[in-house]
Amino acid sequence: MNNTTDTYISIGSNLGNRLETIQEAIFLIAKNIGIVKKCSKVYECPSWGFSGENFLNACLHVQTKLPPEELLINLIEIEKKLGRERSTNNGYQSRTIDLDIIYYDKLIQEDSNLTIPHPKLQDRLFVLKPLADIAPQFYHPTLNKDTRNLIQECKDKSVLTKTTYTLFCNKKELLATAQFLSIEGNIGAG
């Protein structure tokens, strides 16, 4: 893919079938945004900043041709498609899906619609741990520290549990793991 940008996206869910929703979001990202190069492990952790069900969280490495603003618009559309309803209330709340741009290569951008890198990523263990699975040596462009160092300095002491769930970067990868059984015999016999 020519003229692509490496971007890192945080993905989380704490409502409904969390794993299925996250996997569907990944397939929609692969279809509408770009090539999903890597998926982290899936972590379960308590809700952060409010009282709610536990979240499943992961991070993705995506190569995209979309500029940052268009990437954000597409991520919001995917959230809507998967049932996310944004509230006008201040504060955090439960959600079917949450997609955040963590990094857009080394871009530094701050405006009323979008801040890159994500302004709170260094404070959130549920972002840093999955990010370390796929980009342990990626340097934060303003803090000048890699993911591993950010984890060591993170003040968030939430307990994260690495699950045994597997995420697939695209539908072909999923189908490659499927096992099929073929039964042959006379037509009409049995």
pTM exceeding 0.85:
yes
Q: How does pLDDT run across 69-91, given as a tens digit for each residue?
A: 999 999 999 999 998 877 666 66
Active site annotation includes 86? no
Active site annotation includes 123? no
Query: Which one of the listed residues 18, 98, 124, 133 is annotated catalytic?
Result: 98
Residue-by-residue DSSP string for 50-108 = S--SPEEEEEEEEEE-S-HHHHHHHHHHHHHHTT----SSSS----S-EEEEEEETT--
User: What pLDDT sits at residue 12?
Assistant: 95
Mean pLDDT of 99-109: 97
Mean pLDDT of 118-133: 96
Active site annotation includes 98? yes
Query: Which one of the listed residues 18, 95, 124, 133 is annotated catalytic?
Result: 95
Handedness of CA 170, 173, 177, 178 (dihedral sign): positive
Residue 45 is encoded by which pair of tokens? 């952790």
Active site annotation includes 84? yes
Q: How does pLDDT run across 36-53, given as a tens digit for each residue?
A: 999 999 999 998 776 789
